[in-house]
Amino acid sequence: MEFSLDYRPYRFKLNQPIALGMLVTGYREGIIIRLIDDSGKTGFGEIAPVESFGSEPLENAQTKLDSFYGRVTLDAISTLYQEGYGCTQFALRSAVKSIFKTAAYPQSEVYSAALLPIETNPFSKELRACKAQGYRSIKYKLRPEAQGGISYKGLVELLDAVQDTGLKIRLDANETLSLEESKRALEILEGYSHSIDFLEQPLDRMLVAEMIDLSYEYNIPIALDESLSTMGREICSYSMPESMVWVIKPSLGDLNLLSDSHKNPLVYSSVFETAIGFSAILELQDSTYDGGLGTQSYFEDSSVVYPSSGMPVQTGLWTQAMSETLWNRLQ
Ligand SMILES: [Mg+2]
């Protein structure tokens, strides 16, 4: 099966600088791709790499797209991940999926965790606001105190406030903790286990064995994020407890890490895609935890993001016509 392939790069301004992996940037750059099948049906997809997570750079994605000379087959798409083009593969697969979609997906609701700013304190007012907006879970970036993060005393105050509101919390350390700091944090979290989703990526991405050990040692789920995208399928060779959470970034090709026998709970996470990539993630329905999808509000131009208001997010609100409009703007 063959499709005609075209693509258009984009560069959209963000309303504040964001950390895209290790790069702090005020812009999001990517590529929108368009496939058309022989009957004239059209589908769109988005390449939105994060290079410090091991993604192919945009230039490489573009060179790869050029190598197809405007025609691409399903077979060629299926091998892209092994060739190092996970982001390109997700874009092309999303486009194929939308071409084959015969009817509109039944609408459903997708929950995402709210990101609590690191400098929030006292916490209770902000947490009550999240609850009032419909959130069930919040995310907080956990840093060592020496790196501007919260003190252990502050962490206890935060957890007390979370417990009072009935929300759940996930703490994302983004590889910044030492083993000792991880253990200290986990000991505190164990006192609030009913309010904790997980502790995400406490240690460096390569220290998977150490994080597996922490999972056995403590009663709090450990989530792998940076480790997954960077190590690729090598991660599947580790034996780990079924409580360990996998943070899957579909735009980076992470769906390739999942097999039919996969048992670990999943969190789907967006990486600052426009609505084209974002809506493809929303259609993945088997996430165990509320998603990490709070990226849309960072785009300055609201016409390139998913048209939702409030929590939960309704699926199916981004239409083919909206994709066409965005595509036409990029020429
Ligand atoms: Mg993370």
In the reported structure, the alpha carbon of residue 8 is separated from the centroid of ligand 1 by a whole-number distance in angstroms of 29
Interatomic CA distance for residues 159 and 157, integer angstroms: 5
CA of 201 to the centre of ligand 1 (A): 7
pLDDT score of 261: 85
CA 279–ligand 1 middle distance (angstroms): 20
User: Domain ranges in the chain?
Assistant: 2-103, 109-316
pLDDT above 90 covers a percentage of the chain that reads: 86
Check if the beta carbon of residue 236 is closer than 8 Å to that of residue 262: no
The chain-wide mean pLDDT, for the chain, equals 94
In this prediction, residue 286 carries a pLDDT of 83
Query: Mind listing the pLDDT tens digit for each residue in 66-107?
Result: 999 999 999 999 999 999 999 999 999 999 999 998 666 678
Find the angle CA(171)-CA(182)-CA(192) to the nearest 5 degrees: 55
Ligand 1 midpoint to CA 208 (Å): 15
pLDDT at residue 107 in the model: 81
Mean pLDDT of the 50-75 span: 96
Closest CA to 306 of 328, 285, 283, 276: 276
Fold matches, 2-103 and 109-316: no
The answer to whether the beta carbons of residues 58 and 50 sit under 8 Å apart is: no
pLDDT at 103: 67
Against a cut of 0.85, is the pTM above it?
yes
**pLDDT higher than threshold 70 for residue 56:** yes
pLDDT given at position 105: 65
Q: How far apart are CA 28 and CA 30, in angstroms?
A: 7
% residues pLDDT > 70 (the chain): 99
CA of 141 to the centre of ligand 1 (A): 9
CA of 225 to the centre of ligand 1 (A): 5
Q: What is the mean pLDDT of residues 104-113?
A: 85
pLDDT class for 260, splitting at 50, 70, 90? confident
Task: Find the DSSP H helices in 166-261.
Answer: 179-190, 208-217, 226-231
Neighbouring C-beta atoms of residue 211, cutoff 10 Å:
23
Residue-wise pLDDT tens digits, 158-182 = 999 999 999 999 999 999 999 999 9
Output the CA 175–ligand 1 centroid distance in Å.
9
Confidence of residue 223 (pLDDT cuts 50, 70, 90): very high
Ion ligand 1 — residues with CB < 5 Å? 172, 225
Q: State in Å: Cα 149 to ligand 1 middle.
A: 16
Going from the Cα of 43 to the center of ligand 1, the distance in angstroms, rounded, reads: 30
Ligand 1 mean position, distance from CA 100 (Å): 32
Torsions phi, psi of 327, nearest 5? -60, -45
CATH number belonging to domain 109-316: 3.20.20.120
* The CATH number of the domain covering residues in 2-103: 3.30.390.10
CA 243 distance to own-chain centroid: 19
Residue 83 CA, ligand 1 centroid: distance in Å: 25
Least confident of 27-31, 46-50, 261-265: 261-265
User: 73 CA to middle of ligand 1, Å?
Assistant: 34
